[in-house]
């Protein structure tokens, strides 16, 4: 692919502070970065991390040439531009995926439309993103406002528009996604559905692979089935836990809240339960890989997560490393407690991790973010956001008081 007018403010290699300009150059970027994501030490954005990942490395192969795109690159792709519709959720653990994805799709040269609800911005400024970079993304973005759960509004707003790709990061049940299918099917788009690995049933054979048994009553699974019968080319992505700066959900932040407050971390069971987390930028690069290769990805299901597994205890310790404090861990038997509607722990109390071999093998995708580096970046943003504050530790106290009484 041809990269035109590419300006990278900062560095392609760690420690270089300057401006690199490439004007109409055909370049195989692996020469510039062959192992790991782009790393920068920009003088304008130095952080406590020293050097930090401030972009992503997204592989896309055309005629044997890989092209990598990083934040800060003003990239206009000579070929491969698509009209992409993104419907993003307003709540839940997948919300912030849309903010990163908008940046990545526009930087890759796609014509992006976001269908959003209410007065909230279609995309928010990302952690460590400059105002200039953010405004550049916003100015290139098309926005349609409406209710994605209202079939008539979807038809009114989208029925006359044509898209090459529809990305549904909103639908949790059949009616929501089916309405979106009806409003866009006239252009026969590649329909990319952000599903969930949470549908997998427990098994003695881990990690989960795409053909494993699932909960057939799950709303996400029923939505996948509807799409498979819709006649549209589809791809389903099943993430585990998505983490990274701007995360709405209590994943890494739950651990940070306790460790940064000098509190004990209560973990259910033995703490030996294995899981894996996937960085939000890796999630977005997986979506990009899917839409870049529809001839391979259409009709497929792919698991998405990080390349490393860890136990729940290990996750607590790694979060402690990010904070700079050793995590103090206690274990409890959740069956001995009644928390009502409260939630004592944010992750599943069982082995829950997936293989991403299929995604790597078929789409040449890889996880560019390690768990340690990703958690460090998350904690840096966590501090800039002024956390921890107003955290309710009442359930923790219930657990700790009960454990003290039994000693």
Question: Residue 405 pLDDT > 90, yes or no?
Answer: no
Q: What was the pLDDT predicted at 12?
A: 33
Contacts of 35 (CB under 8 A, 6+ apart): none
Provide the H-helix boundaries in 97-206. Answer: 97-107, 131-140, 151-158, 174-184
pLDDT in tens, 311-353: 999 999 999 999 999 999 999 999 999 998 899 999 999 999 9
- Chain CA centroid to CA 182, Å: 27
Q: What was the pLDDT predicted at 75?
A: 38
Where are the extended beta strands (E) located within 255-339?
A: 265-268, 274-275, 277-279, 300-304, 310-311, 329-332
**Total count of residues recorded for the chain:** 407
- Please, which pLDDT band fits residue 248 given cuts at 50, 70 and 90? confident
Number of Cβ within a 10 Å radius of residue 313: 18
pLDDT, average across residues 159-179: 95
Omega of the bond prior to 183 within 30 degrees of 0, cis? no
Residues of the chain above pLDDT 70, percent: 79
Return the ∠ at Cα 101 (arms to 97 and 102), rounded to 5°: 125
Helix (H) or strand (E) holding 297: helix 294-297
State the chain's mean pLDDT as an integer: 83
**Rounded-to-integer distance, Cα 316 and Cα 327, Å:** 6
What are the structure tokens assigned to 350, written together? 């069982």
pLDDT in tens, 64-73: 333 334 444 4
Given CA atoms 3, 189, 121, 94 in this order, what sign does their dihedral have?
negative
- Please, which pLDDT band fits residue 27 given cuts at 50, 70 and 90? very low
**Rounded-to-integer distance, Cα 289 and Cα 367, Å:** 12
**Rounded-to-integer distance, Cα 203 and Cα 38, Å:** 38
Q: What is the pTM of this model?
A: 0.81
Query: Where is pLDDT greater, at 42 or 395?
Result: 395
Question: Residue 216 pLDDT > 90, yes or no?
Answer: yes
Q: What was the pLDDT predicted at 341?
A: 87
**Rounded-to-integer distance, Cα 282 and Cα 56, Å:** 8
Residues of the chain above pLDDT 90, percent: 71
- Please, which pLDDT band fits residue 192 given cuts at 50, 70 and 90? very high
Query: Where is pLDDT greater, at 195 or 47?
Result: 195
Separation in Å, CA 67 to CA 60, 215, 228, 292, 385? 6, 38, 31, 11, 34
Where are the extended beta strands (E) located within 78-217?
A: 83-88, 111-116, 142-145, 165-169, 190-194
β-bridge mates for residue 352, sequence order: 275
Residue 196 · residue 214 · CB < 8 Å:
no
Query: Where is pLDDT greater, at 23 or 282?
Result: 282
Q: What was the pLDDT predicted at 199?
A: 98
């Amino acid at each position: 692919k041809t990269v035109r007018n590419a300006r990278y403010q900062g560095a392609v290699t760690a420690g270089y502070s300057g401006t690199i300009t490439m004007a109409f150059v055909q370049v195989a970027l692996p020469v510039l970065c062959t192992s790991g994501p782009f790393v920068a030490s920009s003088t304008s954005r130095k952080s406590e991390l020293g050097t930090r990942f401030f972009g992503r490395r997204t592989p896309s192969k055309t005629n044997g040439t890989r092209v990598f795109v990083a934040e800060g690159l003003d990239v206009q792709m000579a070929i491969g531009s698509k009209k992409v519709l993104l419907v993003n959720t307003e709540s839940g653990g997948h919300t912030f995926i849309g903010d990163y994805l908008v940046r990545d799709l526009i930087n890759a040269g796609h014509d992006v439309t976001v269908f959003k609800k209410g007065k909230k911005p279609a995309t928010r400024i990302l952690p460590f993103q400059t105002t200039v970079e953010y405004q550049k993304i916003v100015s290139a973005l098309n926005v349609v406002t409406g209710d994605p759960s209202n079939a008539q509004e979807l038809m009114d707003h989208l029925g006359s528009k044509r898209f090459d790709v529809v990305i549904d990061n909103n639908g949790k049940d059949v009616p929501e996604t089916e309405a979106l299918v009806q409003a866009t099917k006239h252009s026969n788009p590649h329909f990319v559905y952000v599903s969930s690995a949470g549908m997998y049933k427990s098994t003695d054979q881990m990690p989960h692979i795409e053909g494993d048994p699932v909960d057939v009553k799950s709303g996400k699974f029923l939505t996948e089935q509807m799409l498979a019968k819709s006649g549209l080319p589809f791809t389903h992505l099943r993430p585990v836990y998505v983490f990274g700066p701007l995360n709405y959900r209590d994943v890494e932040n739950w651990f940070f809240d306790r460790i940064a407050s000098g509190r004990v971390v209560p973990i259910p069971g033995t703490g030996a339960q294995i899981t894996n987390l996937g960085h939000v930028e890796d999630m977005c690069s997986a979506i990009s890989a899917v839409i870049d290769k529809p001839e391979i990805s259409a009709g497929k299901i792919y698991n998405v997560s990080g390349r490393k597994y860890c136990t729940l205890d290990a996750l607590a310790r790694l979060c402690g490393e990010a904070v700079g404090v050793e995590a103090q861990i206690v274990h409890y038997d959740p069956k001995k407690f009644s928390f009502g509607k409260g939630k004592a722990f944010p992750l599943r109390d069982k082995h829950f991790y997936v293989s991403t071999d299929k995604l790597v093998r078929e789409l040449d995708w890889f996880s560019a973010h390690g768990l340690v580096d990703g958690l460090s970046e998350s904690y840096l943003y966590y501090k800039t956001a002024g956390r921890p504050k107003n955290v309710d530790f009442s359930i923790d106290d219930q657990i700790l008081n009960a454990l003290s009484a039994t000693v």
